[in-house]
Amino acid sequence: MEHKRSILIADDEGTMRDFLEASLAGKFRVKTAGSGEEAWDLMRQGTFDFVLSDIQMPGMGGMGLLERIMSSHGAKPLVIMMTAFGTIEQAVHATRLGAFDYLTKPFGLDQLNHAIDQAQAFMRLRSENQTLRRNVAVRNDHHGLLGNNREITLLREKIAMIATSRGTVLLQGESGTGKEVVARAIHMSGPRKDGPFIRLNCAAIPETLLESELFGHERGAFTGAVQARKGKFELADGGTLLLDEISEMPYAMQAKLLRVLQEREFMKLGSKEATSADVRIIATTNRNLKEEIKARHFREDLYFRLNVIPMHIVPLRRRKDDIPLLANHFCQVFCAENGKPVMEITEQAMKVMLAMDWPGNVRQLQNVIERAVILAGGDVLDEKALGLADEMDATDGPAAINPDMTLKDMERELILRKLELTRGNRTQAAHELGISVRTLRNKLNLYTDMGMEIPG
């Protein structure tokens, strides 16, 4: 049932009070007062969203009541003044004191409803702006890393611990978990926050161009090099270089990157002199690098050089308690971007989202909310607006399968989910998994070494 806002009507004429109360009782919880003093007493006993006050009343009139309201502490109601002796000077004075609107008696029901509708629209807009400002403040405090889940809280604590260091960070996690958000949070939390944050997607650059992208080149270094160009390392001097999807870097280029990480200097293509840059390296991957090493797709020595500070970002299905916070945040952001009033996500829509395993993680949730906001025709986002019927996974089924996952990844996810279901009971988890407690313990020790948090 929709929550009714409250309105206080102050007028010394009983007939007018009855008319206003009957007109507004369907939309509001109504209280009435026959004087300014009585209205003020009611306001001290409880809060009101709106006040509709006559100006001319015995004792304390409407202007006196308005002054008290505006000088009081805490949230203030929107005040609409009424008078049968209206003048322009009086309207201007009321507005300067803080009145939202001014009605001259006699007025019809249409005029009253218009003034009330305008006040309600203003209050909704004010509330939405306050909510957005609070969310922006929270987002700035956490540098965009939103969530109250224990895993996210521990991640933020680790970011605070390592922020001032120069150590190379290896961020591991499935696609869409927010690895770049974490990288930016690390950058913004430390002394390099005023320096550049440069990102290179290793999977998006052709092998023939990757060396130039990383280290830069001199004029004439190769066909088409008509002028000198700085590489990502040089551009990131004094800041952070994010090497996104490092597992996709060609094997030959991995050796050159290793040498740069060891020597802290690099050679531009076509140059005979070494260039140095003060850069913090953060690398990300959605693959199991130990498996990539076994398959000879990734250099073990580069892995050790990158894995100075390992951090693992859990998938959204393991932090479902953050879905309401994230969904409402994305809804507010995309409503603002598309010039729409902030929509309310229905309880049923939220249940549907909580039932999903979200194989695309936070990025998938973000895209779903953006699509729903753009296509929604009303002021709410229900389960139909989300369009999730074809995307839902069975809530009691196995862990969602990501195309990038290996068998080892799926085994790890199954073990961790089983531990969650058994609330950290390793004996019960091992029994249900069909393995020995010793085998389970060994696997969990391996996951801990990888920087992962173990449930329970």
105 or 242, greater pLDDT: 242
Q: What is the mean pLDDT of residues 215-232?
A: 84
Both structure tokens of 299 = 């250099």
Give the dihedral sign, CA 273/274/276/282: positive
Domain ranges of the chain: 5-136, 150-312, 316-386, 407-449
- Domains 5-136 and 150-312 equal at CATH topology level: yes
For the segment 309-342, what is each residue's pLDDT rounded down to a tens digit?
Answer: 999 999 999 999 999 999 999 998 888 888 888 8
421 or 163, greater pLDDT: 163
pLDDT at 401 over 70: no
> 316-386 maps to which CATH number?
1.10.8.60
Task: Supply the pLDDT for residue 34.
Answer: 92
Cβ atoms within 10 Å, residue 388 = 16
- pTM over 0.75? The answer is no
Quick check: bond before 359 cis, omega within 30? no
Q: What CA–CA distances, in Å, run from 251 to 97, 257, 292, 302? A: 72, 10, 11, 10
> 5-136 maps to which CATH number?
3.40.50.2300
The CATH class of the 407-449 domain is mainly alpha
For the segment 404-424, what is each residue's pLDDT rounded down to a tens digit?
Answer: 567 777 788 888 888 877 777
Q: What CA–CA distances, in Å, run from 29 to 1, 21, 71, 387? A: 14, 9, 25, 36
Strand ranges of the sheet holding 5-10, from the earlier edge strand across to the other edge: 28-33, 5-10, 50-54, 78-83, 101-104
Q: What values do phi and psi take at 120, rounded to 5?
A: -65, -40
Of the candidate ranges 116-125, 151-160, 167-176, 385-394, the one whose mean pLDDT is the lowest? 385-394
Q: What is the mean pLDDT of residues 191-219?
A: 90
User: Residue 448 class from Cβ within 10 Å (0-12 exposed, 13-18 middle, 19+ buried)?
Assistant: exposed
Report the mean per-residue pLDDT for the chain. 85
> What is the band of 208 on the pLDDT scale with cuts at 50, 70, 90?
confident
For the segment 234-272, what is each residue's pLDDT rounded down to a tens digit?
Answer: 999 999 999 999 999 999 999 999 999 998 888 888 888
Task: Supply the pLDDT for residue 395.
Answer: 38
For the segment 19-45, what is each residue's pLDDT rounded down to a tens digit?
Answer: 999 999 988 999 999 999 999 999 988
DSSP state at residue 429: H
CA–CA distance, 90 with 103 (Å, rounded to integer) = 11
Exposure string for 125-134, b = 16+ CB within 10 A, e = fewer: eeeeeeebee
Q: What CA–CA distances, in Å, run from 227 to 45, 205, 211, 219, 221? A: 75, 20, 16, 4, 9
Both structure tokens of 104 = 């001259």
> Is the CATH number 3.40.50.300 carried by domain 150-312?
yes
Task: Supply the pLDDT for residue 136.
Answer: 54
User: Residue 389 class from Cβ within 10 Å (0-12 exposed, 13-18 middle, 19+ buried)?
Assistant: exposed
For the segment 423-451, what is each residue's pLDDT rounded down to a tens digit?
Answer: 778 888 888 788 888 888 888 888 877 76
Element (H, E) at 101: strand 101-104
